[in-house]
């Protein structure tokens, strides 16, 4: 009798146990995360021992798509009812998702749902002033709205200051307004699409200082000042004969004496039009510029300045127009930045003055080695902003060379350019290499 009862009980359980019923939920974005999931509406008569979602990138509708044929599975626990899974860390923008549930009879699957996520480029910030800046980003995907949000604290959202962007030349672009001078802002692009609101990576920038109209050096020379992005720049070449503590800098005009010099010195070809040329040893003193000003670093030129001028035709935007101080054709010259560079040339080690009206070459404080340092340069035949000094091939940037100096005002904000990509160096002009 016991055996008969046992047989009947098992037969009854087998007959009433079946695959569960599960549905797939459309993913949504919540708090910056992409959330998928589903619901087990029927456990099939036995306990749900596993449930979750599976993901696949290369699905075209005809292939098998189950736990054994997927890119990854994300477990959501056990039991009947609704469940969610964080699927934020998917590597691809396009994929399919499917809910699953397992009981003692086997695994059942919900509907296959296609997911098409918005793809962001890294936002760029340019045309920075004391109270505004322009933000731009590339976006791929079907979206309802794109914009930017910003804050003085990291990780901004649309709950902070925000502005809807417009489509301009393959980018979404908007102007950030109501900013405070000399203040660091954190910016993200956002989009609204079928899944909710998602955000790009974060970038940051510093608004312009309130620049003075002019500045004087120790000798009493007065220089006009221009605001470019977050920086205040002299718009004339330095022509001081003293450090800012009153120490005299030696004038060396003889080529042999200049070539052998290992301490600070200056020379000039036409100081009225082009200012003085200094060797790197004068720059290395650290107080060549007026008090409160300094010779820029490589990063201050090729991140802060470069990006403030929108990273295109930067050299042209920094050159005075016409052919009084530049040879024809003075390619790309607009001087829209107000930097007002003139073609003052330079003095290579062991040579006389070269490239007058052909190039303008300026020191940075950043060194490559004990003998070489980086510079930035404009040429009469190109609109690019060049840089040299990364190898012995760039003989003109030997520290014994004579280059112009432009000073930039000290800022109360530390520079942070970790998320700005330094542009690749374009090829130098023929004259610059010779």
Residue range 150-176: mean pLDDT, rounded: 94
pLDDT in tens, 183-239: 999 999 999 988 899 899 999 998 887 899 999 999 999 999 999 988 999 999 999
CA distance 387 to 268: 22
Structure tokens given for 329 = 């054709």
143-152 burial, b at 16+ Cβ within 10 Å, e below that, comes to eeebbbbbbe
Rg (C-alpha) for the chain, rounded Å, is 32
Q: What is the pLDDT of residue 393?
A: 52
Most confident of 10-19, 113-122, 329-338: 329-338
- pLDDT tens-place string over residues 81-131: 999 999 988 777 889 999 999 999 999 999 999 998 888 889 999 888 889
Going along the chain from its start, the domains and CATH numbers come out as: 2-116 (2.60.40.10), 119-206 (2.60.40.10), 214-433 (no CATH)
pLDDT greater than 50 at residue 336 = yes
State phi, psi for 3 to the nearest 5 degrees.
Answer: -65, -40
Q: To which residue do tokens 């605001």 refer? A: 227
- Residue-wise pLDDT for 25-69, tens only, equals 999 988 778 899 999 999 999 999 999 999 998 888 889 999 999
For residues 104 and 49, the answer to whether their CB atoms sit within 8 Å is yes
């Amino acid at each position: 009798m016991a055996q008969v009862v046992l047989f009947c009980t098992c037969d009854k359980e087998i007959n009433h146990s079946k695959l569960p019923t599960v549905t797939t939920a459309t993913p949504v974005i919540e708090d910056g995360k992409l959330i998928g999931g589903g619901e087990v509406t029927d456990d099939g008569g036995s306990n749900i021992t596993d449930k979750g979602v599976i993901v696949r990138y290369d699905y075209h509708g005809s292939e098998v798509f189950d736990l054994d044929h997927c890119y990854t599975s994300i477990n959501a626990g056990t039991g009947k009812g609704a469940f969610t899974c964080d699927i934020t860390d998917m590597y691809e923008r396009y994929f399919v998702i499917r809910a699953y549930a397992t009981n003692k009879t086997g695994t059942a699957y919900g509907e296959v749902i296609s997911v098409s996520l918005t793809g962001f480029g890294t936002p760029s910030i340019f045309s920075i002033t004391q109270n505004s800046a322009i933000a731009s980003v590339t976006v791929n995907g079907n979206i309802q709205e794109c914009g930017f949000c910003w804050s003085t604290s990291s990780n901004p959202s649309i709950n902070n200051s925000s502005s809807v962007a417009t489509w301009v030349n393959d980018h979404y672009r908007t102007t950030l307004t109501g900013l405070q001078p000399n203040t660091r802002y954190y910016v993200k692009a956002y989009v609204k699409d079928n899944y909710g609101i998602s955000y790009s990576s974060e970038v940051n920038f510093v608004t312009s200082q309130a620049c003075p109209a002019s500045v004087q050096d120790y000798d009493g020379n007065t220089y006009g000042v221009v605001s470019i992005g977050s920086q205040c720049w002299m718009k004339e070449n330095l022509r001081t004969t003293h450090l800012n503590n009153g120490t005299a800098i030696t004038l060396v005009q003889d080529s042999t004496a200049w070539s052998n010099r290992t301490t600070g010195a200056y020379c000039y070809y036409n100081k009225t039009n082009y200012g003085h040329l200094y060797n790197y040893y004068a720059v290395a003193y650290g107080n060549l510029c007026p008090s409160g000003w300094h010779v820029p670093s490589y990063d201050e030129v090729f991140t802060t300045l470069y990006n403030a001028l929108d990273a295109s035709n930067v050299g042209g935007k920094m050159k005075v127009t016409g052919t009084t101080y530049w040879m024809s054709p003075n390619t790309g010259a607009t001087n829209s930045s107000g930097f007002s560079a003139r073609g003052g040339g330079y003095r290579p080690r062991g040579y006389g003055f070269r490239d007058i009206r052909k190039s303008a070459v300026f020191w940075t404080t950043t060194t490559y080695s004990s003998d070489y340092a980086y510079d930035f340069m404009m040429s009469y035949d190109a609109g690019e902003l060049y840089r040299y000094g990364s190898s012995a091939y760039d003989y003109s940037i030997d520290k014994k060379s004579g280059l112009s100096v432009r000073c930039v005002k000290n800022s109360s904000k530390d520079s942070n350019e970790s998320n700005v990509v330094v542009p690749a160096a374009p090829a130098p002009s023929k004259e610059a290499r010779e």
